[in-house]
Structure 1
Amino acid sequence: MKNSILLFLCIFFGNSIIPASFLPPPINQLILKVKVIGVKDGDTVEVLYYQLPIVIRLEHIDAPEKKQAFGTVSKQKLSDLCFGKNVTIISKGKKGNYDGRGRMIAEIYVDDKICANKEMVKSGLAWHYKKYSKSEEYAQLENAARKNRVGMWSDKLPVAPWDFRK
């Protein structure tokens, strides 16, 4: 009924007189259903959207590099979570958010319930990437993994990937 009234008002009066409470929220994210066809490392996957391959950089996190301690374990964990599966990716912005290398930055949801990004931090196989993320939830997940000495936090002096790359 509400939609019929909204349609009637739009047709006869235009958008200018419709109260804001009747208008849908602005679209500020891109949501895609895709299949994961490759895992490049612990924070990057390749997905297939129809016939288009897209490289996804997991938002909020930075995983150990392949040649770094826990790099292969991190890649394997992400692979176990999502390789070969149909997943939902959520990227900020109407057309998505991209990094300087052309990779879409997104969160990946398996079965619409499990956030792979959060699972990587929770398992101690990725850092919360505070340089690009102010998420309190990711900070808390990292703190819990550190406290419980999970994954890379079992090392005495884990090296952040951004330091390792230098």
Structure 2
Amino acid sequence: MRRLLFWLLVALPFALHATPQTCLIVGVPDGDTLKARCGQPGSYEEIKVRLNGIDAPEKRQAFGERAKQAMSDLVYMKDAELDCRKIDRYGRSVCRVMVPAQSAPNGPKTLDAGLAMVTVGVAWWYRAYAKEQTPQERGQYEYAETEARAKRVGLWRDAEPVPPWEWRKAQRDH
């Protein structure tokens, strides 16, 4: 029995890191949450997805609607590759989301949706969860946020933008 429990505990992290799957993005509730339809016709499963590595302004927060629109422009009704790494406390799959790139013929074929949101200044790199990213992803996200701040794009035009985690805490405290 002990041996079985040991092997279950060892295997669990690998089971949660399933192979990426291609899903159609059918909804964008806000700048860091998606609804995706996965599977084959007749046996679809709709899942709620939280983008790994970012936190976008809430809809009622400054830049919240812009973040939602930017995400929608990026992913809505597109097939996306979801690399889901865990399930959060709200039952959402936390995933890296890759979408087809609309770039020059020699450019990348896919685009990291979370990284794109940070790059254009409509989301923060969510440092509190950086350990859930690969070292390469952490470097890319940190660089993108630093550049967006320096260029004062998107929410970085605001003199003192309020991170969503602080905004949510203030809402709970009132």
TM > 0.5? yes
Per-residue CA deviation, residues 42-66 of structure 1 (Å, 9 max, x unaligned), is: 0000000121100000000000000
CA distance in 1, matches of 2:18, 2:52: 13
- 1:86 match: 79
Structure of larger gyration radius: 1
- 2:46 partner amino acid: P
Alignment equivalent of 1:120, drawn from 117, 121, 134:
117
Equivalent AA in structure 1 for residue 54 of structure 2 = I
The Cα of 1:29 is off from its aligned counterpart by 4.2
Which sits farther off after the overlay, 128-137 or 38-47?
128-137
Alignment of 1:11-160 (within 5 A): 28-50=17-39, 51-92=44-85, 97-111=86-100, 113-134=110-131, 135-160=138-163
One-letter amino acid of the counterpart of residue 35, structure 1: L
Identity, % of aligned pairs? 39
Two-structure CA RMSD over aligned residues (Å)? 1.4
Counterparts of 1:102 and 1:139 in 2: how far apart (Å)?
A: 27
Unmatched runs of 5 consecutive residues or more in structure 2: 1-13, 101-108, 132-137, 170-174
Bigger mean CA offset, 151-160 vs 108-117 = 108-117
Compute the TM-score of the two structures, normalised by the length of structure 1: 0.79
Aligned length: 137
Distance 1:44 1:133 in 2: 18
Q: Which amino acid aligns with 1:70?
A: F
Higher relative helix content = 2
SS at match of 2:129: coil
**What residue number does 1:23 align with?**
none
TM-score, scaled to structure 2: 0.75
Which amino acid letter does the alignment assign opposite residue 36 of structure 1?
A: I
Secondary structure of residue in 1 paired with 2:69: helix
Instruction: Give a deviation string over 1:93-117, Cα, whole Å, max 9, x none.
Output: xxxx111001000111112511111
Question: Quick check: 28-37 or 139-148, which moved more?
Answer: 28-37
SS in 2 for 1:131: helix
Letter in 2 for 1:101: Y
